[in-house]
Amino acid sequence: QQASPATDLNLSTSDQLFTRAKDLIPGGVNSPVRAFRAVGGHPVFMQSAQGAWLTDVDGNRYLDFINSWGPMILGHAPQIVLDAVAQALPASLSFGAPTRREVEMAELIIEMVPSIEKVRLVNSGTEATMSAIRVARGYTGRAKILKFEGCYHGHGDSFLIAAGSGALTLGTPDSPGVTEGVAQDTLTVPYNDLAAVAAAIEANPEQIAAIILEPVVGNIGLVPPAEGFLQGLRELCTRHGIVYIFDEVMTGFRLARGGAQELFGIDPDMTTLGKIIGGGMPVGAYGGKKEIMDQVAPAGKVYQAGTLSGNPIATAAGLAQLRYLHEHPEVYQQLERTSALLADGTRQIAAELGLHYTVNRVGSMWNVFFTQQPVTDLASAKTADLDAFGRYFRAMLHRGIYLAPSQFEALFVSTAVTDDLVDLYLTACRASLREAHG
């Protein structure tokens, strides 16, 4: 284990690799947040991971609270998943034809998430959300979708629309390359604002195909749904014939066996799933009511396909983790307890230092916002002191604690975090909060 005083990390191999990478890969990384731009410094290149620990290419070890952005619920390299992959490997890396495991995976997903009556496997969360809104559009014959400011649904064009554009105004693209035409079909409103949703529906009568949201937001830091928000959306969708889509790419099988929809008792029309059902391998899925899913080709006319969809190795890894979660409900009690120790401990330490920061948590997703305001949406998340967060992030890294390199990301807890690791984290947290505030 890493000692608590800040160490002068030797990151020389990481630095050399990043220098090479910048010439070869845009920004030196294959996904933007990995570049550490929000917190300063260079990214750390990883070599291996086991349980709660990551080891980088220079041999430094870190207690991991990213967990590959969510999927490693059982920690890194759990033996049951490694065994399942090892067993699957000699049979084939890819058939491009149906397999038994795809049927077993569909059965398990449907059993664990009862609102899903039929499901289609894809290769990422982005594919899942892109496909889901296409199906919703095909099903309703309507063009527009409504999303919430700060919710992330992958990098499909329809979802990269400026946060902050009002509910009743037309969207503008957030990213060059997204056309005005696409942007105009995406309406955005603030999270937790039911009145804004009602107003948007009224202003766009019978034009909205789907409302999509993260039932617990993990992409502006952690923001829980306000009391009655998810149910209120359910009622609006039912009344106006809108397809209600839960994006559970982060929350599915993590917040409860049946995801956020089980936790909050909501019955969405469609659900998107991602990384978690691959146990770390590239997998996604979308599913929902039979009537809607039967629109998908070849049952119906809405086209969606994938050469590697249902890949035998990915389904082996995913099934192994899902089966474990299905058979061990005590995992969720353990995650709840450990996460409460981490989050409550952080809140208390910050308060003792006079910082009174906002700590949000639902189950094993949480984070500390460097602001004293309650954080309920994107606007309140933006009141955080980003410079102080950057200093805190670097101070924690140098104490061997690997946090998300942005204030606007959630932290994920795995079952590999034992009580002594909680203590290790809290000791580093106290020292780093002090250091970050001079």
Query: What positions carry a catalytic annotation?
Result: 152, 247, 275
DSSP H helical segments within 69-177, as ranges?
79-88, 100-112, 125-140
275 binds ligand PLP (CB under 6 A): yes
254 contacts ligand PLP (rule: CB under 6 A): no
349 vs 375, beta carbon nearer ligand PLP: 375
Amino acid at 168: L
Residue 247 binding ligand PLP, by CB under 6 A: yes
Site residues for ligand PLP, 51-110, by CB under 6 A, read: 69
Q: Which residues of 383-393 are buried (b: 16+ CB within 10 A; e: fewer)?
A: ebbeebbbbbb
Judge whether 142 and 205 are in contact, CB under 8 Å.
no
Exposure of 100 in the CB half-sphere (CA atoms within 13 A):
2
Segment contacting ligand PLP by CB under 6 A, of 134-142, 242-250, 332-340, 352-360: 242-250
In whole angstroms, the minimum distance from the beta carbon of 286 to ligand PLP comes to 11
Sequence-ordered list of residues with C-beta below 8 angstroms from that of 97, at least 6 positions apart, any chain: none
Nearer to ligand PLP, 177 or 438 (CB): 177
Residue with smaller CB distance to ligand PLP, 7 or 30: 30
- The residue (of 249 and 381) whose beta carbon lies closer to ligand PLP is 249
* Contact range with ligand PLP by CB under 6 A, out of 137-145, 170-178, 246-254, 379-387: 246-254
Q: Which stretch binds ligand PLP (CB under 6 A): 147-155, 168-176, 307-315, 427-435?
A: 147-155
* Contact of 206 with 238, CB cutoff 8 Å: no
Q: Is 131 in the site for ligand PLP (CB under 6 A)?
A: no
CA distance 342 to 347: 9
Give residue number: closest CB to ligand PLP.
125
How many angstroms separate the Cα of 318 from the Cα of each of 114, 270, 282, 310? 19, 20, 9, 10
Cβ distance to ligand PLP smaller for residue 408 or 425:
408
Q: Token digits for 383? A: 């009141």
Kindly list the distances between the CA atom of residue 269 and the CA atoms of 116, 218, 337, 393, in Å, as whole numbers in the listed order.
Answer: 8, 21, 31, 39
Asked whether position 250 contacts ligand PLP by CB under 6 A, the answer is yes
- Residue 310 burial by CB count (10 A; 0-12/13-18/19+): exposed, middle or buried? buried
Tell me whether residue 228 is exposed, middle or buried, using C-beta atoms within 10 angstroms of its C-beta: 0 to 12, 13 to 18, 19 or more.
exposed
The minimum distance between CB 126 and ligand PLP, in angstroms, equals 3
Nearer to ligand PLP, 69 or 389 (CB): 69
Measured distance between the N- and C-terminal CA atoms of the chain, rounded to whole angstroms: 26
From the CB of 169, what's the least distance to ligand PLP, in Å? 25
How many residues at the interface with ligand PLP, by CB under 6 A? 17
Q: How far apart are CA 360 and CA 98, in angstroms?
A: 42
From 43, 71, 75, 125, residue interacting with ligand PLP (rule: CB under 6 A):
125
Contact between 399 and ligand PLP (CB under 6 A)? no
* CB nearer ligand PLP, residue 148 or residue 425: 148
Task: Figure out which of the listed residues 4, 60, 67, 126 binds ligand PLP, where binding follows CB under 6 A.
Answer: 126
| Cα–Cα dist 292/134, whole Å | 11
Site stretch for ligand PLP (CB under 6 A), options 19-27, 211-219, 308-316, 343-351: 211-219
Least Cβ distance, residue 264 to ligand PLP (angstroms): 16
Min CB(129)–ligand PLP separation in Å? 5
Cα–Cα distance for residue pair 150/379, rounded to 1 Å: 9
Q: Per CB under 6 A, does 219 bind ligand PLP?
A: yes
Question: How crowded is the C-beta side of 418, counted as CA atoms within 13 Å?
Answer: 4
Q: Using CB under 6 A, which residues numbered 152 to 191 contact ligand PLP?
A: 152-154
Tokens 């077993």 found at? 104
Tokens of 285: 């899925």
Q: Give 119 or 388: the residue with its C-beta nearer to ligand PLP.
A: 119
The contact pattern for ligand PLP, residues 278-317, with x = CB under 6 A and - = no contact, is ------x---------------------------------
Which residues contribute to the site for ligand PLP (CB under 6 A)? 69, 124-126, 129, 152-154, 214, 218-219, 247, 249-250, 274-275, 284
